[in-house]
Amino acid sequence: MFDKSNRYMTKGIQQEIPLELQLFMWNCIDKLKEQENKVDYLQVFEITEHRADDIFYQIIEHSQEVPEYNKTYKVCSKKVVNAKVFVIDDETHSTMLLAQEY
């Protein structure tokens, strides 16, 4: 699952999500694969903006249902976005898409 050679994204991801956040989310999945024996076919990322002392950050909540997993990150980004992103693996390829594109 989530093989590095067969990764795709939708047009919505290309247009709405900065490249550094795309790479960050793929990296989160790779790290989860290293830590866990089982990774759910559906990875969910809730991306929200956060402001502290006139600096904007991205809060990224990474979760899956089975086995239950949830981790929150706070990162700097050149472009701040609010989005829900799904990454779905069907055993032949992995696709990153915006929730509204599902």
Looking at residue 85, which CATH number applies to its domain?
3.10.450.150
Count how many domains the chain has: 1
Q: What pLDDT is recorded for position 54?
A: 82
Share of the chain above pLDDT 70, in %: 100
Asked if the structure places residue 65 within a domain, the reply is yes
Average pLDDT over residues 31-43: 91
Structural domain that includes position 26: 7-101
Instruction: Flag whether pLDDT at 102 surpasses 90.
Output: no
Task: Say if 20 falls within a structural domain.
Answer: yes
Q: Can you give the pLDDT at residue 5?
A: 87
Quick check: 92 and 3 in contact, CB under 8 A? no
Tokens found for residue 14: 């290309």
At residue 51, the pLDDT reads 86
Average pLDDT over every residue of 39-65: 94
Please check whether residue 26 lies inside any domain of the structure. Answer: yes
- For residue 20, name the pLDDT band (cuts at 50, 70, 90): very high
What distances in angstroms separate CA 66 from CA 23, 34, 37, 38, one per listed residue? 23, 16, 11, 8
Q: Is residue 1 part of a domain?
A: no
Reported confidence tier of residue 55, pLDDT bands at 50, 70, 90? confident
Give residues with Cβ within 8 angstroms of 88, minimum separation 6.
41, 42, 43, 94, 95, 97
- Is 2 part of any domain? no
pLDDT interval class at 77 (50, 70, 90):
confident
